[in-house]
Amino acid sequence: MKNVLITGGAGFIGANFAHYIIKNNPDYEITIIDNLGYAGNIGSIKSIEDKIDFVKGDISDIELMDSLIEKNDAVVHFAAESHNDNSLISPWPFVQSNILGTYSVLEGVRKHKKRLHHISTDEVFGDLELNETSKFNENTPYNPSSPYSSTKAGSDHLVRAWVRSFGVEATISNCSNNYGPYQHVEKFIPRQITNILSGIKPKLYGTGEQVRDWIHVDDHNSAVALILEKGKIGETYLIGADGEKNNKDVIEMILSTMGKSSNDYEHVKDRPGHDMRYAIDSSKLQKELRWTPIYKDFEKGLEQTIDWYTKNQEWWKPQKDETEAKYKKAGQ
C-alpha cells in the first residue's frame, strides 16, 4: 500500500498525521483533501507542501471523492466537524460533513474496492460517572449526547453497515481527547494557552470537575498508522493513553507552567448536556497490535505544547479574535 488519501488533512489531527507519515513511512505517497473550512489551516501543512498533493474540496462531493479514491490505495478519513460547542449552536454542518461526507467516502471505497480507516471518537459512548472506575471498551454500547457525537456515532454505524453488507475493507478507531500542535484555538487546551498569551483570563466551564482522558496527537497517530497496516478488517480499536485529568486541574497546570498564579482563571457558563467523564481501555490495541504510547508524561507534553503555541503565534493569531467573539456571544 503506497498511495494514501487523507481527508481533513488541514485540520489538527489530520495535519499531524501527514507530518507523522512523512517522517515515519517515507514510501507512502500522500494526497490530502480538505475544504479549508474555518478549522482547516493550510499553514499546518506548509512545511511539507512539496511532499504531498493537496486538493481543496468537500468530502460530500461524490464525483470528486470517486476520482480521488480511484487513484489511491487507501483512505484515512479524519474530515469532520469536530467541535461540540459549535454543534450546539448549529448542528446542520455536522450532519452534512460527518454523515453525508462519510457516506460519500464509503461509496467511493465500495466502488473501487479500496482500504478505509475511519477516525472516530470516544464520545460516541456517551459519558461515565465521576465516581466509577469503569472505562469504555470495544463492547460499550453507543449512547452519544451531543449533535457532534451523535453524527460521529452515525458515521461509525454507516462504516459497519458498509463492511457487513458490501464487504468494504474498513477499520474504525475511537480515540479520547487529543492535544498537541496545530489544534484550533476553540479547543480547551489551546484556548487557555492562547488566552494567557493574549492577556485574557482562561475560561473554565461550570465547576471544571469533568474528566477528559488526554492523549498526545502523535500517540493517536502512531496507533492509526499501525491499524492501517496491521488492523483486522471489520474491527474497531479504542485508542487512549490513560491520561484522565479533570478540567480544573488542567487549567491550573497550564497557568502554573506559564508562570501565572494557578487560580487566575474565570468560571463561565457550563456547556449544555456536558459529558462528565471519558476514559478509554486500550488493552485490545496494546495486546493485538502491540501499540504503546510514547507521551506518558502529560505535564511534559503540555509544556511542549505551550512552547509550540508561544513560538507559533502567526499560526493561531488570525483565528483568535473571531473565536473569542463567538464564545463571548455564548456567555463562555
What does the binding site for ligand TDX look like in residue numbers (CB under 6 A)? 82-84, 121, 123, 177, 187-188, 191, 203-205, 208, 210, 212, 247, 271
- Is 172 near ligand NAD (CB under 6 A)? no
- Is 14 near ligand NAD (CB under 6 A)? yes
Burial (CB < 10 A; 0-12, 13-18, 19+), residue 232, is: exposed
- Is 170 near ligand NAD (CB under 6 A)? no
14 binds, among ligand TDX, ligand NAD, none (CB under 5 to 8 A by kind): ligand NAD
Catalytic entry in 20, 103, 148, 295:
148
- Is 223 near ligand NAD (CB under 6 A)? no
- Is 60 near ligand NAD (CB under 6 A)? yes
Candidate segments 37-45, 242-250, 287-295, 319-327, binder of ligand NAD by CB under 6 A: 37-45
Q: Name the residue among 331, 313, 199 with its Cα closest to residue 258.
A: 199
**Residue span 106-135 as binding mask against ligand NAD, x where in contact by CB under 6 A, dash where not:** -------------x-x--------------
| CA of residue 172 relative to chain centroid, distance | 13
Measured CA to CA, the distance from residue 228 to residue 217 in angstroms comes to: 16
Contact 205, 215 (CB under 8 A): no
188 binds, among ligand TDX, ligand NAD, none (CB under 5 to 8 A by kind): ligand TDX
**Residue span 226-265 as binding mask against ligand NAD, x where in contact by CB under 6 A, dash where not:** ----------------------------------------
Q: What's the chain's length in residues?
A: 332
- Is 10 near ligand NAD (CB under 6 A)? yes
User: Other CB atoms closer than 10 Å to residue 161's CB: what's the count?
Assistant: 12
- What minimum distance in Å lies between the beta carbon of 183 and ligand NAD? 7
Measured CA to CA, the distance from residue 102 to residue 80 in angstroms comes to: 9
Contact 82, 39 (CB under 8 A): yes
- What minimum distance in Å lies between the beta carbon of 8 and ligand NAD? 3
- What minimum distance in Å lies between the beta carbon of 146 and ligand TDX? 8
215 beta partners: 178
Residue type (1 letter), 165 = S
User: Other CB atoms closer than 10 Å to residue 46's CB: what's the count?
Assistant: 10
35 CB-near residues (< 8 Å, 6+ apart)? 56, 57, 58, 59, 79
- Is 40 near ligand NAD (CB under 6 A)? yes
Q: Which residue is nearest to ligand NAD (CB)?
A: 11
Within 51-187, where are the H helices?
A: 62-70, 84-89, 92-94, 101-112, 147-166
Read off the C-alpha cell for 150: 451523535
Rounded to a whole number of angstroms, the distance between the first and last alpha carbons of the chain is 46
- Is 216 near ligand NAD (CB under 6 A)? no
User: Other CB atoms closer than 10 Å to residue 331's CB: what's the count?
Assistant: 8
97 binds, among ligand NAD, ligand TDX, none (CB under 5 to 8 A by kind): ligand NAD
Catalytic entry in 58, 122, 218, 252:
122
Give 8 or 181: the residue with its C-beta nearer to ligand NAD.
8
Annotated active-site residue 123? The verdict is: yes
Annotated active-site residue 122? The verdict is: yes
- Is 152 near ligand NAD (CB under 6 A)? yes
Within 167-232, where are the H helices?
A: 188-197, 217-230
292 CB-near residues (< 8 Å, 6+ apart)? 286
Catalytic entry in 34, 81, 123, 252:
123
Q: Which residues bind ligand NAD (CB under 6 A)?
A: 8, 10-14, 34-37, 39-40, 58-60, 78-82, 97, 101, 119, 121, 152, 175, 177-178, 184
Q: Any idea which residues carry the catalytic annotation?
A: 122-123, 148
